[in-house]
A = this chain, B = another copy of it.
């Protein structure tokens, strides 16, 4: 599935080569994806993912001495991740996180949220939104909106930073578009690792699998795929949309979506930055020690903390 020629290896770190060499081959992905991502198989996918990620998450929590609190905000479970030392200036700021996992799996304790809390010295509020296929769009979005509305009672919008990985970015963007329709204030900044809905095929993840997962489990019957709230790539933004940083890899099935979102925001007059990492795949920024993941997380922090 993942081709890795000598020339390609020349620009990758040993850590990245090791990671890519361990990606299992996925034959007949176009043919098998609709079956592998069907609703009946989601339970198995979740268990597989949790079995792989939970030990890594636990180790990160221990290593960085993170305090995990299970809170309830607007009747929704929200995981609050707190580093041992809040960085000076971040006492009244939070990162509001929407986890990734193709809408069907994943955890509010995902690595991206843990790493940002530890590395940025900030509290992360990670929404444990409802997954598909049990619910479809726009349930998770509206759950996130309820949490955001409630957080605005406690925090100044200038202290709220949106953050999301993958499918979580769709939920975050859609939530903010809905919030704007209610005239709620916008958060200070957005940071997103890969926007959702993908269209290529050099990644560690087959585009057909992503597409099948979303269509069969998350997409409601009868919705127009170009509905701007469902697919925020089609939204027209206002210039006061929050400054946004988007991280993608050249090997990412979502590269084109990151690129298109960047220009959409830029043309609306929104301060936007697109960070493209050489040879990197969907979700590479989840890795704690991979050099390009460390680098891009630092660049995201720079953006989130910059004065414009």
Contacts and interface: CB of A to CB of B under 8 A. Distances in A.
B295 A278 contact: no
Contacts of A299: 266
Contacts of A267: 295
Interface in A256-305: 256, 259-260, 262-263, 266-267, 274, 276-279, 295, 299
Nearest to A233: B11
A11 B250 CA distance: 18
B274 A274 contact: yes
A215 interface: no
A164 interface: no
A255 interface: yes
B274 A259 contact: no
Contacts of A199: 7-8, 11
Nearest to A302: B266
Nearest to A248: B276
A292 B199 CA distance: 19
Nearest to A249: B259
Nearest to A266: B299
A7, A263, A266, A279 — which one has the most chain B CB atoms within 10 A of its CB?
A263
Contacts of A250: 255-256, 259
Interface in A10-49: 11
Contacts of A276: 255, 259, 262, 274, 276
Contact of A259 (B8, B263, B277): B277
A256, A262, A277, A295 — which one has the most chain B CB atoms within 10 A of its CB?
A256
Contacts of A255: 250, 276
**8 interchain residue pairs of minimum CB distance:** A259-B278, A259-B276, A260-B278, A256-B278, A7-B199, A250-B256, A250-B259, A250-B255
Interface of A: 7-8, 11, 199, 250, 255-256, 259-260, 262-263, 266-267, 274, 276-279, 295, 299
Given A250-B255, A255-B276, 16 more contacts: A7-B199, A8-B199, A11-B199, A250-B256, A250-B259, A256-B279, A259-B276, A259-B277, A259-B278, A260-B278, A262-B276, A263-B295, A266-B299, A267-B295, A274-B274, A274-B276
